[in-house]
Amino acid sequence: MSASRAIGVIGGTGYVSGELLRLIAGHPHLELGCIASASSPGMDLTEAFPNLAGCYSGVRLASMSELDARWRDGALAGIFCAAPHGTAAGLVDGLLSGEDARRGRIVDISADFRFRDPVVFEGIYGQPHGAPNMTGQFTCAVPEHLAEMATPHAAQPGCFATAMLLGVVPMIRSGLIENDFFISGVTGSTGSGRSPSPTTHHPERHSNLFAYKPLSHRHAPEVETIAEAVAGQRPRIRFVPHSGPFARGIHVTIQGRLRPDAEPTALRTALQHAYRDHRFVEVADAPPRIKDVVGSNRARLHLAFDERGYALLVVIDNLIKGAAGGAMQWMNRLLGLPEHAGLTAPGPAWI
């Protein structure tokens, strides 16, 4: 077994940071080298994440300057950036600027490097990009959809976007469907982050279900842009997200029409073929449930169809496959490690 490589994490006390730390703790080739927080430097790590007390006793959150120093002196092989959208770009720009901005690899989990064109980011997020000169250094895709990378760094798509792309990309590549997709998705409350809001507060979500930003959610253009880049055709996405009464997990239903000359069974075969060599994605014979995958890096898909069209069901854990786990797949690849390293633990199912 190779010696462990030290990894940095930016984003201190967020849910995704907590999942990254949990995955690093069980990784056979990586170890935590530094975790930085702009808001809580000096805090004991287990104060933010009591569940990690057995793994990181005595570790404290560092400042960004401390992490930057370790990065520049070569102590960190890679960095996960789980800072908020709009903040991550400036932090990454600082790490990659200067003559000593080195050999390490960065995987960004914010939205800041999901779009190669900073103007597209600005149009969707309504703010100037914090590092427009750095966007060409990142590739954004679901790891299963891109065999080779031409950039030194990677960006993980958003959690809803990951679930949608797992279905949309192989169907576009099949050439069997019309490229108009009607998508409805339900996400758990952890998808909105750790800070409570009127739509994430437990009394509002408990025993409740409601849509938000119908046909105007920013993940729709994200999916269109990424799908075009990896599949060669730009789809039309009509997306309605919903808030569900559970903490973690995403269930997405993708509907559309087959091309007139397409055989429905051929679409299922194409989907199975697309993921036959990818251990984290399963095409199941029955409709999946989120408890099939929650707590794991796995995704389950199921295709139903009639003579007119199809419905593809996708479930993932939003914090793992849709964020920390997908990012870990990228880091493993960037560092020349097995893509599945540290990600093979099964989900607990009954959480």
**Whole-number Å distance between alpha carbons of 277 and 173:** 16
Q: Which of 93, 80, 64, 77 lies closest to 9 in space, CA to CA?
A: 80
159 classed as catalytic: yes
Q: What is the amino acid identity at position 173? A: R
**Which string of DSSP letters, residue by residue, matches 253-264?**
EEEEEB-TT--H
Dihedral sign from CA coordinates of 94, 96, 99, 100? positive
- Report the relative pairing of strands 281-283 and 210-211 from DSSP bridges: unpaired
The answer to whether the CB of 133 falls within 8 A of the CB of 264 is no
**Whole-number Å distance between alpha carbons of 311 and 323:** 25
Q: Which of 174, 178, 147 lies closest to 333 in space, CA to CA?
A: 147
Choose the catalytic residue: 34, 81, 140, 159: 159
Q: Which of 133, 147, 143, 246 lies closest to 200 in space, CA to CA?
A: 246
Instruction: Write out the catalytic residue numbers.
Output: 159
